[in-house]
Each structure stands twice: as C-alpha cells, then as structure tokens.
Amino acid sequence: MAHKVIITCAITGSVHTPSMSPYLPITPDEIAEQAIAAAHEGAAILHLHARDPKTGFPAPDPELFRQFLPKIRAATDAVVNISTGGGMTMTVDDRIRAAQTTSPEMASLNLGSMNFGLFPALKRKTEWQHDWEPDFLESSRDFIFRNTFSDIETILSQLGEANGTRFEFECYDVGHLYTLAHFIDRGLVKGPVFLQFVLGVLGGIGADPENLMHMKATADRLFGDQYRFSVLGVGRAQMPFAAMSAGMGGHVRVGLEDNLYIRKGELARSNAQQVKKVRDILTGLNLDIATPDEAREMLGLKG
C-alpha cells in the first residue's frame, strides 16, 4: 500500500490558557464540536483532554470526558485517543482515570520525566480573564512532568493489558526511545509501536531538522520495521515539521493543543482550520490521507 499519512488532531490540551485564544475549545460541547469538525476535515485520530467548563482549567474528571465522547463517537469514526499526560496539577492516578474508565482505542503515554516549560507563553498575553492563568504559567518554572519507569509500567498494565488500549508513545528526546526499547525487551510492549516525536517543548529536544533525522535514525536502529512515527512540532514549528515528517514517510499531528496559530500573527479559528491546512500541504506533496480505518490497520488498533 502506498504511504498514507495519518493526521492526528490534538484539540485542546492543558498547556494553553483560555485568554490566549478565544478559539480554544473549553466546554464539552466546544470540544465535541471542534473534534467532529477536525475529523470531517481529515483527522483520523483525535487526541483529547478535558477542561473545567467554568474556568478552562485542565481537568481529569472522567465525567467531563463522558460529556463529549459519545457525541464524537456518534458523529465520526475517528480513533479516540485519551491523554494520560493530563495537566500540570494532576497526579498520575488522576491522569489515567479517564482512559481507564472509557477504554479508548488509543491513549497517550509519555516516555520520561522532564522539565516542561510553559512559561515562554507568558510573553504572549498581558490581560488575564482568569486569576489562575498567570500563576499556572509561572509555576511551570519548577514543574517536573513526572513519568517514572513505574508510572509507565502502571499505564501499560492498567490501560494496555487490561483494556487493549494501544499507545501514542510521546518521545520528547532521544533517550525516550531507549526507554521504550527497554519495555519492549521486557515484553511489556508489543509492536508495531506508534511514536509521536515531540519537537520544541522547552526541556525536550529542539525543533531542528537534524534532531528529527536523529530521532528517526535511532528509531530505525531500535525498532526496525516494528514502528510508525508521527511528528508534533510545537508552535511555529508545527507545519514545517509536519511537512518534513510526511516527506520522511511519517505521520503528522496538528491541533490547538500544540499551536494556537494558523500563520504568523494570526490565531487559528478552529482545529479544523489547521487540519485543512496540513491536508492541503500533504495533498500538494501528492500524499494521500489515511482514513480512520486505514489508521487502525496501520497501528494495529482494537477497532
């Protein structure tokens, strides 16, 4: 089969705050509406977080997920991917509860503990709609994104073994690939694995083309033909790295979780707008877009 590109769309995340963009979906209805529109534009996978509908603060409550998941499932056949990265104030137990109780086809799994700087975002906005926003961003100076070996094992056993959920393995640096190889060696993960190379988070590997080539060369060495990869470039790196990934035989992730803009100085009006933009780039490169079922087949999902 010719290479078909899987588009993942990450709808809201837990990094951006409501006053950064009026288009960031917050309530369950907004999340459902934007996720459905993104799927209709060509996203095969929807990476989902929830937020407190009153404040926009990232929230782990499975009940919030239950307010948008049935709507998304009724209106699309996209693969549902529930985040286990959660948000800065959540414990690991908080972070896995939604995926544990909704048993999605896919969940994210972050492959290492690291500094995770949200505070470059502080520069972007001076007026705050919610009291929590400046403190939230400021506190990321000392935030350690916790993903210990035992946390990873917990997620693998409680979601993977117990529910048949497969993973978007988020790799923020080259060492994370070796961590995954270790879990494969121990028999706790079976291929083919789906790697999400994350470039440009402060604390992780930078968004430079040579870094992506090094990540891929390392994955080739460690996983042979037992992996697929996608790339998420943060902020302005989003579209250039999507194009580079697709040119290297990989897949792409877009969405307001990773970048609020559609072009320099212009906020994206929706997730679907970014999906359409990347779809146009990919079709301009003569690449085909994978349907959700084609993504399921490529990634060995339970369907």
> Residue 125 burial by CB count (10 A; 0-12/13-18/19+): exposed, middle or buried?
middle
Q: Does 230 bind ligand KMH (CB under 6 A)?
A: no
Answer whether the bond into residue 192 is a cis peptide, omega within 30°.
yes
Q: Which does 211 bind (CB under 5 to 8 A by kind): Zn ion, ligand KMH, none?
A: none
Give Rg (Cα) of the chain.
Answer: 18
For the chain, strand residue ranges (E) read 4-5, 7-10, 45-48, 50-51, 58-59, 79-82, 106-110, 114-115, 144-145, 166-171, 193-199, 227-233, 251-254, 261-263, 266-267, 288-289
Please give the Cα distance from 33 to 76 (Å, whole number).
Answer: 11
Residue whose entry in the numeric block shows the structure tokens 């998941």: 69
Q: Which does 231 bind (CB under 5 to 8 A by kind): ligand KMH, Zn ion, none?
A: none
- Give the range of 78-86, 125-133, 150-158, 269-277 binding ligand KMH by CB under 6 A: 78-86
Q: Does 83 bind ligand KMH (CB under 6 A)?
A: yes
Q: Does 256 bind ligand KMH (CB under 6 A)?
A: no
Beta 144-145 vs 114-115: how paired, if at all?
A: antiparallel
Residue with smallest beta-carbon separation from ligand KMH:
85
Residue with smallest beta-carbon separation from Zn ion:
83
Which residue in 198, 199, 244, 299 binds ligand KMH (CB under 6 A)? 198
> Residue 179 burial by CB count (10 A; 0-12/13-18/19+): exposed, middle or buried?
middle
One character per residue 150-179, x = contact with ligand KMH (rule: CB under 6 A): --------------------x---------
Q: Does 100 bind ligand KMH (CB under 6 A)?
A: no
* Of residues 78-137, those binding Zn ion (CB under 5 A): 83, 85
Q: What are phi and psi for residue 72, nearest 5 degrees?
A: -65, -45
Nearer to ligand KMH, 5 or 15 (CB): 15
Nearer to ligand KMH, 36 or 205 (CB): 205
Q: How many residues bind Zn ion (CB under 5 A)?
A: 3
Q: Does 147 bind Zn ion (CB under 5 A)?
A: no
Q: C-beta of 257: minimal distance to Zn ion in Å?
A: 5
* Residue 40 Cα distances to 34, 93, 247, 250, angstroms: 10, 33, 24, 21
Q: How many residues bind ligand KMH (CB under 6 A)?
A: 13
Chain residues that interact with ligand KMH, rule: CB under 6 A:
10, 13, 15, 83-85, 108, 110, 170, 198, 201, 257-258
Chain residues that interact with Zn ion, rule: CB under 5 A:
13, 83, 85
